[in-house]
Amino acid sequence: MQNDSDFKRNENKQNKDGNQPNNSNNKKILLGVLAFALVSTFLLNILMTSFSGSNMLEIKYSDFITLLEKDAVKNVEIQNDRLIINTDVSKIDLPEAMNRFNKTSEMVFYTGLVGDTELVKTMKEHNVKFSRKVTNSSPVIDFFTSWIMPILFLYIAFSLIMHFAAKKLGGGGLMGVGKSNAKVYMQKETGVTFKDVAGQEEAKESLQEIIDFLHNPDKYIKIGAKQPKGALLVGPPGTGKTLLAKAVAGEANVTFMSLSGSDFVEMFVGVGASRVRDLFKQASENAPCIIFIDEIDAIGKKRDGSMNSNDEREQTLNQLLSEMDGFDSSKAIVILAATNRPDVLDKALLRPGRFDRRIIVEKPDLTGREDILKVHSKDVVLGDDVDLHAMALATSGAAGADLANMVNEAALRAVRMGREKVLQEDLMEAVEVIIAGKEKKDRILSPKEKRIVAFHEVGHALASALQKNSQPVQKITIVPRTMGALGYTMQMPEEEKYLMTKDEMISEITVLLAGRTAEEIVFEIATTGAANDIERATKMARSMVSQYGMSDKFDMMALENTENKYLDGRNVSLCGENTVAKLDEEVLNIIRSCHKRAEELLVKNREALDKIAEYLYEKETITGEQFMEILKEVRGEDEEL
């Protein structure tokens, strides 16, 4: 009972504290609106007065008397503070007035009302018509129409503007800018369970424990175990982090509140913090529930205190940290968050008690890719020759989203080809479309360029086939693709590998450089077609020296570190300028050594290079089996490759 009462007091205190900023913000907005309305009304009155007198000229009262005496005044309208004077143009001799008006126009003047007791008598003597409008309004009514009504009008207009702006910002009107716009999903709305998620067995196992706690909290409380408050899903894009979160909601059968980190961040300081408070208030009311924040790095970046810091984002982060500390774990509220930039998150957000568990959602391995392909192809009509294992082998490094896209591309191709089933060739063509793009039929190479590309690609294939540590060739083509490739050599690993030896990396660099080397041997030229090969080879050689300790000169010294490894994988130097220069020299030595090795292989097998390249030039596309048949024929069946 003591714990329950303490929790209620804390909850009331949180509600009280949470309402104070909202009330304060509302008062500030209201005062701002009233101040804006008063100033606007004052300026409006000035403008109205200015415009009302824009077609009249002010004159002195003495000039008005002069006009009366010259019988130049037709009629006079007497107002509260002035006289409006209509005149006869032909009888006026005022230079200022003549410059202002045209001779053909009616001339209207005004002058201030003076306590002249003889004015009415004078106007009668000169036959001037005069009048004064009869009004039933009192000073109170005049004040209301002149000031209160414009203020109300401006207030309503400003309120409507703020209402639509708040809708754009995700709030609920003028006083609801800080409302959370979390989308609440129930199990029937997500329609996703763990059966729909493949290739992430370890992640599902970690999340299954959280689901079991939501369903059966007593058995955990009985033994003294505390529910994890939060779990952070970390991994590259497209690996299924959001899908996993939806599957958790589907499995747990509890309220699922989903929103993005960017939904909290706005231009107004304090709005994000208010939305965090409102989100956790909703979660408390709907417990048990799961809160899912996608791309949490939008609000969870490290606080550095620099001049470029963002007050709004930091206030939002502080409020999130406070709320994660403050809610009662017995209320069965679990926070899931996803990011592919864990290195930029604030350490306070990652400590135990907030995100207790970090769940890595990596790209799937061979078995995982095959399982994912089975999930995405369950509703696709497949032919008898389909081998998903072979496709899984050919898609090393692909994420779940990539594999789903490949299956869909294969189905689309089958429809284009007029078939009712998806064949293996559709699946393998889809892999090539995702990797290299579609065939570019309108790009026709000249015979010379086509021959250069043929020798270039066969150079890659020969270097791969003639080395023990290389992957076997599956296909060679010189048909241009939409992603810029004029041709490519497709290799397929015989088994899934998680490590690369130094010899394997040297062989891979040699294969990459063999395309340009073939051009140099046969045509004695160098073309731009090897740009991507050179870039990849240099990057791999640099990683060997700077990160993997595969250099005698630097031994096992780390010279670079990888940042954003789940995104671009940019390397950051950890050494001084002198060491960087030596690092470049060591990378150059590796490149030169592999270049020389590729040259030796191709010169030694020049006959095979010429014969296979000519065959490829004629056919444009050959399979790995055709390539190996010609190679064995040239070298001899018994000669070991």
Match 């952070």 to its residue by tokens: 232
Whole-angstrom distance, CA of residue 160 vs CA of residue 149: 17
Whole-angstrom distance, CA of residue 509 vs CA of residue 319: 51
Straight-line distance from the first to the last Cα atom of the chain, in angstroms, rounded to the nearest whole number: 80
DSSP state of 209: H
Whether the CB-CB separation of 602 and 462 falls below 8 Å is answered with yes
Q: Which of 323, 457, 519, 560 is catalytic?
A: 457
Contact residues for 216 (Cβ-Cβ < 8 A; gap 6+): none
What angle, rounded to 10 degrees, do the helices at 531-546 and 577-604 form?
A: 130
* Type of residue numbered 590: I
User: 570: which 2 tokens?
Assistant: 């940019």
Whether the CB-CB separation of 338 and 233 falls below 8 Å is answered with yes
* Type of residue numbered 504: E
Whole-angstrom distance, CA of residue 519 vs CA of residue 515: 7
* N residues, the chain: 641
User: 478: which 2 tokens?
Assistant: 């010189």
Whole-angstrom distance, CA of residue 415 vs CA of residue 429: 14
Burial degree of 251 (CB within 10 A; 0-12, 13-18, 19+): buried
Whole-angstrom distance, CA of residue 380 vs CA of residue 399: 20
Q: What is the DSSP string of 515-583?
A: HHHHHHHHHS---GGGHHHHHHHHHHHHHHHHTS--BTTTBT---EEEESTTTT-EEEE-S-HHHHHHH
User: 57: which 2 tokens?
Assistant: 């000229």
Beta-bridge partners for 333 = 289
DSSP state of 78: E
Question: Mapping DSSP to helix (H, G, I), strand (E, B) and coil, where does residue 326 land?
Answer: helix
Phi-psi region of 470 (alpha: psi -120 to 50; beta: other; left: phi over 0): beta
Q: Is 432 noted as a catalytic residue in this protein?
A: no
Which residues are known to be catalytic? 457
